[in-house]
Structure 1
Amino acid sequence: MNDSSPRSADRVHEQVKAMAVTYRLRPAERINEVELARQLGVSRTPLREALNRLAAEGFLTTEPNRGYTVRPLDPARVLTLYEYRAMLETAALRLACERADDAALAELAGFAALSRDTPEEDTEALRLLALDEAFHERIAALSGNEEMLRSLRSLNERIRFIRWIDMRKGRRAATQEEHGRITAHLRARDAEAAAALMQTHIARRLDQITDTIRAGFAEIYTGNALAAQALGEVA
């Protein structure tokens, strides 16, 4: 196989991104390009292209003569991402409330109900989180602003591991109930109530994030089921 082809480069990018998103590449770990290329069965050329793209996307950091390092799992940094998410999603929601037609909002309500009623045993790991991400991205899509949707998708990838740990700590029931209430406010065209609830729904305090990260480190070093599932999907 010609692993310098665009298709191969894209595939390597998706594989390494899955490793970074799920912290199979461990926090603050310096990447050994030779070992990673061997592990993936590719040459250094598509791997280096993938690493450059991931650094530009915020998953890795890079320094001259030091190569690439995985983003740290740092509470203060994660808090900034949640703050950005709250600002972005409440703005998108207000636009959706103004621009989406009744049929689109009814479809959103149907999706929220379907997600709520899906048995938990069928929604382990990525499946459970995918339903939650899809709900929020559907609202962003209803804003009619493609840049907001693109930004939210990128942000969701960067906090996916933390949100997965959060879900495993028993937030599913509260999350699904709040989705229903947000949708009801949207259908009533009550942008203020919807935005206030979305802010509460997303917001996290620094101590909450610290507790979640502590649980995340335990997962990273004792199996990391999210990484196993994600990497199986992109293999």
Structure 2
Amino acid sequence: MSREKKPLDQGERGAAGAASPASLYDTLSAAMVRFQYRPGERLNEGAIARDLGVSRTPVREALSKLVAAGLIDHEPGHGFFRRKLDPKEIFDLYELRQQIEVSAVRLAVHRATPQQLDDVDAILDRSMAAAHEASVEIVVGFDEQFHDAITRLTGNVEMLRSLQLINARIRFVRWIDMRGRRGGTQGEHRAILDAMKARDAARGCDLMEAHVQRRLEQIVEAVREGYASIYMGNVA
């Protein structure tokens, strides 16, 4: 590939030694989320295929799916490119995330069973136990798991799918943003869940709105730190 970078993780392989389509997509998705390619960098399909030991056709198919997921861009006649870290785009995604998650709390308060809320409580307990010693990547994984679990309680699969697509596109910024605020995030999660278990939809929605709003107010700084991490080789 152009410029030296950490080799791509080849993921799971089938019996014939070729990466499965799903694992190929996951491998490339992880590379894009981690900004193994710099913002605006052209993606060399041939080099990627050689790294992963596959032909260019499945690579191109996986890259096309990444375009659909919003992680990369395609310019006809020029190829595929890693999307830039655009503060306005990130802000818009966080704003949409806020609307989805507030609505999810409102629906889940009325639809979730006590056992389902207890299951989310168990997720939160595990994340809080690991928060102080786990890597930022693991902490962000727990964070997404909590928010996914709340949205899953709505029973609305399209709402959950939309949230997961948003989270994939903002994951890198969340890594940057999470570095210094693990404890605060866990406390906010606990307060949101307590309100939901009390069936207090208004309080739960207010808490979720404030939880995401604090991130909205820090987007520009998080993007600035993200660029510094990428170009200093200190990617999460």
The structure 2 residue matched to 1:189, chosen from 199, 211, 225, is 199
Asked if the contact 1:85–1:152 (Cα under 8 Å) also holds between the matched residues in 2, the reply is: yes
The structure 1 residue matched to 2:31, chosen from 19, 44, 50, is 19
Q: Secondary structure at the match of 1:203?
A: helix
1:41-190 to structure 2, matched below 5 A, reads 41-118=53-130, 120-121=132-133, 123-168=134-179, 170-190=180-200
Alignment partners' CA distance in 1, 2:64 and 2:195: 42
Judged with a 3 Å threshold, the aligned counterparts in structure 2 of structure 1 residues 129 and 186 are, in CA distance, closer, same or farther, namely: same
Alignment partners' CA distance in 1, 2:123 and 2:68: 33
Judged with a 3 Å threshold, the aligned counterparts in structure 2 of structure 1 residues 206 and 150 are, in CA distance, closer, same or farther, namely: closer
Asked if the contact 2:136–2:175 (Cα under 8 Å) also holds between the matched residues in 1, the reply is: yes
Judged with a 3 Å threshold, the aligned counterparts in structure 2 of structure 1 residues 184 and 125 are, in CA distance, closer, same or farther, namely: same
Give the TM-score of the pair, scaled to structure 1.
0.88
Judged with a 3 Å threshold, the aligned counterparts in structure 2 of structure 1 residues 59 and 135 are, in CA distance, closer, same or farther, namely: same
Asked if the contact 1:79–1:205 (Cα under 8 Å) also holds between the matched residues in 2, the reply is: no
Which is richer in helix? 1
Give the TM-score of the pair, scaled to structure 2.
0.88
Asked if the contact 1:82–1:204 (Cα under 8 Å) also holds between the matched residues in 2, the reply is: no
Q: Deviations over 1:15-71 (max 9, x none)?
A: 111111111121111212222222222211111111111111111111211111111
Given the alignment of the two structures, is residue 198 of structure 1 paired with residue 199 of structure 2, yes or no? Answer: no
Question: What's the CA shift for 1:107?
Answer: 2.5
Task: Please tell me the root mean square deviation across aligned C-alpha atoms, in Å.
Answer: 1.7
Q: Secondary structure at the match of 2:81?
A: strand
- Identity rate, percent: 44
Alignment partners' CA distance in 2, 1:119 and 1:163: 15
Aligned residues: 221
Asked if the contact 2:42–2:80 (Cα under 8 Å) also holds between the matched residues in 1, the reply is: yes
Question: What's the CA shift for 1:171?
Answer: 1.4
Structure 2 residue runs without a partner (length 5+):
1-15
Letter in 2 for 1:108: V
- Residue 32 of structure 1 is matched in structure 2 by 44
Alignment partners' CA distance in 2, 1:207 and 1:89: 17
Alignment partners' CA distance in 1, 2:101 and 2:131: 27
Letter in 1 for 2:210: T
Structure 1 residue runs without a partner (length 5+):
227-235
Question: What's the CA shift for 1:2?
Answer: 6.6
Q: Secondary structure at the match of 2:103?
A: helix
